[in-house]
């Protein structure tokens, strides 16, 4: 008989969640794929905390902990692991594991014993970390594993892994599978793998729940976890992205003059990197070890200078403040939105080179606001961007880029932590950039549908180009790619 860890029965919180039935057993890995983002946050909050429900019952370890008749706001033994690590960077791994936990009752620290305990925990996972190493000095993958151990020590009934492919590289994701299997089978830990891509989910999980508009729309058992079934639920994506005419604009091999050139670049983990991005070309740079992209983005933005080598834009040194260059960091819906500005000002503030006296001429701005009303609603000059959801804020960022019309755009992980409908919208924006002649460089840890907008895939290893594939060869890529262009499948 299987031991139940969590059970949700007919849980409803309108308008976010409707009739959620879900059960998780001890020692299993279950995936939750959100076709759209509605209700995911609320569902995870229900796991963590006994909040007020409109209707339904929540059981943890077979005990009723929450129902619609009353809630006590108490916490359930659940750990959520996401991009922002719960570890304290300035403390050692050992301290994070043993000292910073609820049930730690030791007054005198026995360092040697703690070190031994830590090594005993890490050994079965084939991982070795010096106990006194500071958390800031270990890799994202190691941080992830330490968080698993921390959850295990805290006797968490459930560990929720949220969008881990956005901060753990593909190589590390492959290393993660035996670790998760060990922890679930040997230690009886239960994992809920929350993500947007079924390939990742299918790789790790033995069951899978599909969710859309706050409802569980399908419970997939192992025998049903196939691409064919998922495609029936994501047919909008297939019709508008995979099968439409937009595919024809990609794939022409461009060997004309280069726009951006990296020559023998050396900095941090970047080791003699050479790369050329041509005019009107979209290149995806896959950093499957998650070592390089943030350093490269810093070099492109001139926040740091390379030890050796050069970055040339149109044959000259790159000038990131130029309006012909746009650099989009990760999570632009928060990092590129200025809360003190209205929605209209957020949309227009990089368009001043296109329209003279933009900031002094109220008529120009109101004329532009009129044109943008269809997409963003009325009274844009009075709206605060913080009042809107992630999809709206992303739309602001990409519409701003469209108005700016840069020649070169560098984007870090554009499809990270966005649902299927947002990905469709982002792809249509990238199609527009392409049609307007922009060159695009996408820096990615995981591909996550990036190949749909790519002419070329460049794979990095040990800080340099390992190999590259053109659009017609994308089917040769065997990692988690999300959706692959149709012509390369043929």
Any contact of residue 221 with other proteins (CB under 8 A)? yes
User: Which residue in 109, 113, 217, 367 binds other proteins (CB under 8 A)?
Assistant: 217
Stretch that binds other proteins, among 15-23, 133-141, 184-192, 468-476 (CB under 8 A): 15-23
Regarding 36 and contact with other proteins (CB under 8 A), the answer is: no
Task: Find the length of the chain.
Answer: 490
Sign of torsion, CA 432 401 268 123?
negative
Q: Which stretch binds other proteins (CB under 8 A): 98-106, 216-224, 395-403, 462-470?
A: 216-224
From the list 63-71, 126-134, 361-369, 415-423, the region that binds other proteins by CB under 8 A is: 63-71
How many residues of this chain interact with other proteins, rule: CB under 8 A? 27
The whole-angstrom separation of Cα 161 and Cα 164 is 6
> Do residues 145 and 65 make contact, with C-beta atoms less than 8 angstroms apart?
no
Nearer to other proteins, 7 or 143 (CB): 7
Helical (H) or strand (E) element with 309? strand 308-313
Largest interatomic CA distance in the chain: 73
Q: How far is the CB of 19 from other proteins (least distance, A)?
A: 5
Name 356's Cβ contacts closer than 8 Å, sequence gap at least 6: none
For residues 284 and 415, give the distance between their C-alpha atoms in angstroms, rounded to a whole number. Answer: 12
Cα 473 versus chain centre, distance: 25
Q: From 490, 454, 453, select the one nearest 475 (Cα to Cα).
A: 490
DSSP H helical segments within 13-169, as ranges?
40-48, 93-94, 111-122, 140-153
Among positions 368-407, residues that touch other proteins (CB under 8 A) are none
Report if residue 75 touches other proteins, rule: CB under 8 A: no
User: Which position among 27, 36, 57, 175 is part of the footprint of other proteins (CB under 8 A)?
Assistant: 57
Chain centroid offset of residue 306 CA:
27
CB of 211 to other proteins, least distance (A): 11
Closest CA to 293 of 194, 412, 391, 175: 412
123 binds other proteins (CB under 8 A): no
Of 233 and 421, CB closest to other proteins: 233
Stretch that binds other proteins, among 9-17, 35-43, 155-163, 415-423 (CB under 8 A): 9-17
CA nearest neighbour of 413 among 89, 81, 86, 140: 140
Q: Of 50-58, 110-118, 123-131, 148-156, which part binds other proteins (CB under 8 A)?
A: 50-58
The binder of other proteins chosen from 3, 186, 227, 239 (CB under 8 A): 3
Does 198 engage in binding with other proteins (CB under 8 A)?
Answer: no
Quick one: which segment of 179-187, 211-219, 303-311, 381-389 binds other proteins (CB under 8 A)? Answer: 211-219
Only one of the segments 66-74, 94-102, 270-278, 371-379 lies at the binding site for other proteins (rule: CB under 8 A); that segment is 66-74
Q: Is residue 174 a contact partner of residue 40, using CB atoms and an 8 Å limit?
A: no
Q: Please identify, using beta-carbon distances, which residue of 61 and 464 lies nearer to other proteins.
A: 61
CB of 310: closest distance to other proteins in angstroms? 54
4 scored as a contact of other proteins (CB under 8 A): yes
Q: Which of 21, 136, 185, 466 binds other proteins (CB under 8 A)?
A: 21
Q: Which of 13, 34, 45, 55 binds other proteins (CB under 8 A)?
A: 55
Buried b (16+ CB within 10 A) or exposed e, 92-125: bbbbbbbeeeeeeeeeeeeeeebeebbeebbeee
User: Residue 254 contacts by C-beta under 8 Å, 6 or more apart in sequence?
Assistant: 278, 279, 280, 281, 455
Please report whether residue 23 would count as binding other proteins according to CB under 8 A: yes
Contact 192, 32 (CB under 8 A): yes
Can you tell me whether residue 287 is helix, strand or coil? Answer: strand
Sign of the dihedral defined by the CA atoms of residues 140, 143, 147, 148, in that order: positive
Least separation in angstroms between CB 6 and other proteins: 11
Instruction: Give whichever of 34 and 406 is closer to other proteins, judged by the CB atom.
Output: 34
Return the bridge partners of 161, or none: 81, 193
Q: What is the per-residue DSSP string for 185-243?
A: HHS---EEEEES-HHHHHHH-SEEEEEETTEEEEEE-GGG-SHHHHHHHSHHHIIIIIS
Residue from 187, 218, 294, 405 touching other proteins (CB under 8 A): that is 218
For other proteins, the closer CB: 9 or 130: 9
Pick one of 68, 349, 392, 421: the residue that binds other proteins (CB under 8 A). 68
User: Is residue 108 a contact residue for other proteins (CB under 8 A)?
Assistant: no
Task: Closer to other proteins by CB, 17 or 397: give it.
Answer: 17
Q: Restricting to residues 222-261, which ones interact with other proteins according to CB under 8 A? A: 229, 232-233
Verify binding: residue 74, other proteins, rule CB under 8 A.
no
Enumerate the β-bridge partners of residue 79.
Answer: 159
Q: By CB under 8 A, tell whether 2 contacts other proteins.
A: yes
Give the pair of three-digit tokens for residue 108. 């005198």
Q: Which one among 7, 365, 400, 423 touches other proteins, defined by CB under 8 A?
A: 7
Pick the piece of the chain touching other proteins (CB under 8 A) from 5-13, 108-116, 328-336, 387-395: 5-13
Q: How far apart are alpha carbons 231 and 375 in whole angstroms?
A: 29
Which residues of this protein are in contact with other proteins, per CB under 8 A? 1-4, 7, 9-10, 12, 19, 21, 23, 25, 54-55, 57, 62, 68-70, 216-219, 221, 229, 232-233
């Amino acid at each position: 008989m299987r031991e139940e860890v969590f059970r949700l029965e007919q849980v409803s919180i309108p308008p976010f969640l409707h009739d959620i039935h879900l059960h998780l057993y001890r020692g299993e890995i279950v995936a939750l794929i959100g076709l759209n983002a509605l209700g995911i946050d609320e569902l995870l909050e229900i796991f963590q905390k006994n909040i007020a429900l409109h209707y339904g019952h929540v059981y943890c370890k077979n005990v009723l902990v929450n129902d619609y008749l009353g809630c006590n706001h108490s916490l359930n033994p659940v750990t959520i692991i996401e991009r922002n690590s719960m570890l304290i960077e300035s403390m050692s791994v050992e301290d994070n594991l043993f000292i910073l936990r609820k049930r730690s009752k030791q007054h005198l620290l026995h360092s040697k014993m703690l070190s031994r305990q830590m090594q005993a925990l890490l050994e079965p996972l084939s991982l070795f970390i010096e106990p006194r190493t500071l958390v800031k000095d270990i890799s994202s993958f190691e941080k992830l594993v330490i968080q698993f151990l921390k959850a295990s020590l805290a006797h968490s009934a459930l560990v929720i892994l949220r969008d881990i492919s956005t901060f753990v590289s593909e190589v590390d994701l492959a290393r993660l599978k035996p670790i998760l299997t060990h922890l679930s089978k040997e230690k009886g830990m239960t994992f809920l793998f929350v993500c947007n891509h079924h390939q990742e989910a299918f790789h790790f999980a033995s069951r899978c729940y599909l969710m859309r508009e706050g409802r569980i729309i399908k419970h997939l058992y192992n025998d049903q976890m196939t691409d064919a079934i998922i495609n029936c639920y994501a047919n909008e994506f297939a019709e508008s992205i995979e099968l439409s005419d937009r595919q024809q604009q990609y794939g022409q091999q461009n060997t004309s003059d280069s726009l951006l050139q990296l020559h023998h670049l050396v900095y941090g983990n970047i080791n003699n990197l050479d790369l050329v991005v041509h005019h009107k070309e979209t290149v995806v740079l896959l950093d499957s070890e998650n070592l390089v992209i943030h350093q490269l983005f810093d070099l492109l933005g001139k926040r740091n200078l390379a030890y050796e080598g050069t970055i040339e834009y149109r044959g000259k040194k790159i000038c990131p403040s130029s309006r012909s260059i746009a650099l989009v960091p990760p999570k632009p819906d928060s990092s590129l939105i200025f809360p003190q500005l209205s929605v209209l000002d957020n949309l227009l503030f990089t368009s001043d080179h296109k329209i003279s006296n933009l900031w002094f001429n109220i008529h120009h701005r109101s004329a532009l606001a009129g044109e943008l009303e269809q997409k963003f609603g009325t009274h844009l000059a009075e709206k605060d961007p913080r009042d809107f959801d992630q999809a709206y804020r992303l739309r602001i960022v990409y519409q701003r880029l469209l108005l700016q019309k840069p020649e070169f755009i560098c984007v870090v992980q554009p499809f990270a932590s966005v649902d299927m409908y947002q990905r469709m919208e982002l792809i249509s924006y990238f199609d527009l950039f392409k049609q307007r002649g922009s060159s695009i460089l996408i820096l990615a840890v995981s591909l996550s549908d990036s190949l749909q907008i790519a002419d070329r895939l460049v794979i990095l290893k040990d800080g340099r180009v390992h190999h590259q594939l053109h659009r017609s060869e994308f089917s040769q890529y065997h990692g988690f790619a999300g959706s692959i262009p149709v012509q390369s499948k043929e």
